Chain A
């Protein structure tokens, strides 16, 4: 009898378990990661949006070291040594190939992807969290547009034609195999995009805005970037218009000669328009320029060249008492003490007020107002404590002086190469002497010097090749001329 019961029980058990398995199997196989978040469950609150916004700035911050290097490397003011920088050193010597490990744009595109992601998905939160208002979403969008535009502006200045990606890569259904867009397509898009951002951006009412907004894009950073892009495109009237908007806002002014060093340390001064923030209070937020570039650190070092050092007058405050590099290393202009371990978080300046004034000066000169241009230029020169630049009637003379002053004003700040390239571009590459002499001065292998001299006139040589890893996997890409043979 007992056995009979067991039998019956068994039979029922089996039938039930069979049914259970058949019915509930699909649910049963639905498993979600235990250690990771997934998109379907993210994007719920304003905090989620803030977190992606922070990650976007963090990703952009990751590009700052590269941006600085691309802005200086092939020009004449730094030289670079050490094992960590071997690939960069090769590029500095004009030994450039698409397989060079430093020839990569992935970090810029990573930040661009985060900006795209933020713009695409932040809208989902609107109806889930009332704290996240429509107005807030728009001002976050403006920040994303700014970061995306600044990344693209670096990309076109380094690579010229690049793919313009405006959709977030969230799924493998996205088409990854897109061709390049021309530099002008990209810049046209950026101008329109930034003009839209200008209308929705958070307008700071005064400079004592909350700390959380520090180092984030606002209306004026967007306008400054627009001015810079117009300048690159040699559209001086539009550039001037945007310079005047910023000057007219009254929020920014030049620091005095005595306070000048506070621009770099501790930073966030009234002269600063957009500076990316480092913070030693948090792990991973230390400024990499300190460790990576500190001479004698062994793994890599960046030194000012003789050209850079002899450019300055002795009294010029911008010489930082001997080495312009000290703006990243020292505690003050008079002190030779390196910053402490806990103070290596100086910010990286992308735009500041003196930049606007020099842009304005350039626009005035290029539009025939040479005298006013010199006036504007001398405002900066005077601040450095080295008298004034002599007024001349020649635009070429003026350009020479301006390039020289920009070199000193933004020494080691990642602007020199772009300045040289912008000046070379003027009048349809009328004068390539400056840029070729800079390139050849760094060239080391005498065997190939002759061969290179002929090719150096090719203006595409001033840009980098498309990274080989992308060439290999994306058949829609065409290698930049000069590197395609």
Chain B
């Protein structure tokens, strides 16, 4: 900061050389007459800027060289009113200062709160915006912003993708509005986009959403407020980027004060809830034998499930290993953050540094994060000021090694751990059952080779996956007020995302031979995104008399983003120490890419208010994107919002318990662009694999898409805002209807006789509608007691309205086991799925006969009763103990004609509520979060109860059908045949839940005590996360995240459930 001061005042220093004068003096307390030590004595110029300065010594004396005999000197001291003296030739200055601590507390901030857009006052909004002030969240000690937001704001659905550290989140504002993969909202940090979708050119086929993790890099301590902008009128200014809503975060800035230091320490303990109980070694062996017997009626043995007593491997295969437990641990996180903020008349600063050391609950995972932030404000004059922010975050993450090869059976350690045979030992054992130091990684077991089903502990411990990421954002803003009413404001931001993934799979991790092609595999991929954003604004607020308020905003936005990536993969490194994919190794793959995206928009907004009662905002936006061909490049998107403050009307004046009552209505259109670059070109690709007879080949690789255009989302949003009882009750109610037209359909299937199979095109319509209620009540407010309560409720309904006649979106071979069908058809919501109705188990032979609609048996021509068969080509005849599906059309065949709609993941109602109780310095804060009526495909249950392969199964399979007459709803064990686990209601569960998401206790030390030890504030607290969940759902976590791509089913796969966390924290401010 001092550098900056030096930089901006060179002229003054020059002139100081000529007429400098030395001034001496003494400073005393006015009340006591004692001399004051360490008082700041500063020469300032006419604009109040610092020129030179000193402090008083132990006797209260000072001596300062000033630039001229007529200089101005400012004397200031913490807790005292500062004074300014014009020297007028004097060379001695005796000062008495008056204490002001009493005054400070009386200061009431009366200024109107301005929204995060910096233009329209929160009170005058006509749009649907939810706002969260961070000081309300002060006691809630969280490690991430997302944790804090979860369930707090109506119709904002945030769900974790997995419980691993650094794992990403899915955020949906008002449901899924597009079939495009991009449904996450725009995140703004201090008004500039924070692009969560870093990897536009990244291979979506292999990337999962976890890679898009770490959505928001800002640490919760640095945030001042968060706003969620939901309707089209409020997001209008951001156009297509904000078609899915905006999460706008404003970080703290320095204010005029003495330096305030703040230190926070947090310790988090995370544990995992109990996993699904799995079979132990003996139960597993029994299950496998019977499953085999049921298939081919031959009694089955295998040296790896029942080894001969006394054989070398006997103890290696006679254990009771709980693989989940073996890869799980209790994890601790240490977090330090330090900040200093303050400033003078001209300059304000806010600097902070944070360091996280986080462990994951899966062994071998962890995250270290360093974040540094600088925010500076400097007023060069009344008219010109600048602002600069620098944000830097470094991640150093140990992630699980997710296998990328398709030939591995499973990609994730945790799902392998669920399947791994429990009779196998983690470590090698000798013939006396002593554990040796090497992991037991046999090349082949009953479950296949060790690539298919590796030892998860060995894999977690030995395979490494490091993720390094640096995010840097530098923002520079200049604001120039030509007059009081006309302001120019320009911002330029440089954003750098730099990420490297480094993976290494040593041969020992999977027990393969060391020179095999898949072992000692080293992968490195590198992505870099560089974005430059510019924002230029003209804000004009003409004076039109007392009754009218008008503000006009014109804004130009540009974005230029460049993506670069490369990826290299080698295998057969000669040493497990040599983990780089360079040198003399077998090259498996190498690729690189780069692309550029540009965006431009102009926005004009008029905001008019008459008599503080009638408010109208009109916005028009024109935007262009490099992703469209010149013909369809620009979109025009209007928006209007109006509000009527009824509480200001005369007839309402008698109801003086109402402070503010406002009716709002907004309407607007926004656009949505495809998420890939260069789609519209007729592209040609060259490849050595297209050559013929020694001539290199080039072939067209994509059709020219002249029909690509803006997908438009039209949103209508009426709402009500009420503040009453001295602002102690606040209610916001909103209804919305979000109509998506020209739906962007990626990978639209076209006839293959065109030479292609898929193109991208725009057609179809979809609607999302729903309502939100947010209330806040401060029930009790006395000096000692405070009690407040917060509640939000929301519901969203999604419906596909129109699709092209030949649009085909169906997945899943429904004659096979394990599949559900998704189909996007008019009249159904996105995310819905079809399957069979599950009726339990055929308990005996008699139940197997086919019946007609009246319940009468069906006979064939020869008069023998027909039995239920499966509709596939093998015409499998169902047997006693098999799963029983409802034959919806009574034809004796289970096939696709028997499918029914089983539900969808969209909750009927979601929300959160929580009380806050404060007694003197003690604050208790709780928050409950719930979703009702969503259906979940419990894939984990399917995987652990199908008894079809050699995978380990859950204890529930002990209730399986064994003998004719058994009444149970778990079918018999049947190896590799039959249809016992077709997609049916058996694995669909109601995912309604209520979760005590946070509970916290805070103690603020009394002011008097703090002052005695020269501190402003001491606060200790404990917060507990995910303490209880009330649900009937049998899986790990009913809060399943919506898949990013509508072609994927909303499945609960066996990932780390959200861990129970306890955070202890301490904050000191001085």
Contacts and interface: CB of A to CB of B under 8 A. Distances in A.
Nearest to B873: A95
Interface in A355-375: none
Interface string B658-686: 00000000000000000001100111111
B808 A31 contact: no
B594 A58 contact: no
A112 B631 CA distance: 30
A37 B684 contact: yes
B33 interface: no
B681 A53 contact: no
B536 A39 contact: no
Interface string B755-793: 111010100000000000000000000000000000000
Interface string B685-707: 11011111111111111011111
B698 A42 contact: yes
B873 A90 contact: yes
Given A58-B691, A283-B689, A6 B380 contact: yes
B101 interface: no
Nearest to B704: A171
B694 A110 contact: no
Contacts of A30: 626, 630
A441 B534 CA distance: 75
Nearest to A31: B626
Q: How large is the interface on B (under 10, 10 to 19, 20 to 34, 35 or more residues)?
A: 35 or more
Contacts of A110: 755
A14 B750 contact: no
Interface stretch (B114-122, B503-511, B595-603, B1056-1064): B595-603
A172 interface: yes
Contact of A31 (B488, B536, B678): B678
A485 B315 CA distance: 60
B600 A38 contact: no
Contact of B694 (A18, A32, A211, A469): A211
A33 B678 contact: yes
B863 interface: no
A16 to B, nearest CB: 11
Interface in A8-61: 10-11, 13-14, 17-18, 21, 25-26, 28-40, 42, 48, 50-59, 61
A177 B699 contact: no
Interface stretch (A64-72, A101-109, A187-195, A229-237): A101-109
A117 interface: yes
A170 B680 CA distance: 11
A165 B754 CA distance: 8
A13 B685 CA distance: 43
Contact of A54 (B11, B482, B677, B690): B690
Interface stretch (A123-131, A451-459, A471-479): A471-479
Contact of A51 (B384, B624, B695): B695
Nearest to A476: B751
Contact of B700 (A2, A170, A178, A282): A170
A14 B384 contact: no
A55 B691 CA distance: 6
B314 to A, nearest CB: 32
Nearest to B700: A117
A176 interface: yes
B751 A176 contact: yes
Interface string B377-388: 000110110000
Nearest to B560: A28
B556 interface: yes
A37 B683 contact: yes
B95 interface: no
Nearest to A100: B873
B704 A39 contact: yes
Contacts of A177: 751, 806
A467 interface: yes
Given A3-B381, A29-B600, A55 B690 contact: yes
A124 B752 CA distance: 27
Contacts of A171: 682, 703-706
A307 interface: no
Contacts of A18: 536, 556
Nearest to B9: A2
A172 B873 CA distance: 38
A212 interface: yes
A165 B633 CA distance: 32
B749 interface: yes
Contacts of A55: 690-692, 697-699
Of A106, A173, A176, most buried by chain B (CB within 10 Å of CB) is: A176
A20 to B, nearest CB: 10
Contacts of B706: 171-173
Contacts of A106: 752-753, 755, 757
A109 B681 contact: no
A215 B693 contact: yes
Contacts of A39: 681-684, 700, 704
Nearest to B479: A10
A29 B703 contact: no
Given A29-B626, A37-B684, A112-B755, A11 B692 contact: no
B703 A2 contact: no
B80 interface: no
Of A30, A33, A445, most buried by chain B (CB within 10 Å of CB) is: A33
A54 B703 contact: no
A262 interface: no
A8 to B, nearest CB: 10
A56 B488 CA distance: 59
Nearest to A276: B692
A155 B693 CA distance: 25
A32 B597 CA distance: 10
A442 interface: no
A7 B704 contact: no
B490 interface: yes
Contacts of A172: 703-707, 759, 761
Contacts of B381: 3
Of B490, B685, B700, most buried by chain A (CB within 10 Å of CB) is: B700
Of B633, B686, B752, B756, most buried by chain A (CB within 10 Å of CB) is: B752
Contacts of B490: 13-14, 17
B434 to A, nearest CB: 40
Given A6-B380, A469-B808, 9 more contacts: A29-B625, A31-B626, A36-B681, A39-B681, A54-B698, A55-B698, A109-B755, A171-B703, A279-B694
20 contacts: A21-B558, A28-B598, A32-B681, A34-B593, A37-B686, A51-B696, A52-B697, A54-B692, A58-B691, A112-B755, A114-B699, A165-B754, A165-B755, A171-B703, A173-B707, A177-B806, A211-B693, A212-B694, A469-B752, A474-B751
Interface of A: 2-3, 6-7, 10-11, 13-14, 17-18, 21, 25-26, 28-40, 42, 48, 50-59, 61, 90, 95, 104-106, 109-110, 112-114, 117, 162-163, 165, 168-174, 176-178, 211-212, 214-216, 277, 279, 282-285, 445, 447, 467, 469-470, 472-475, 477
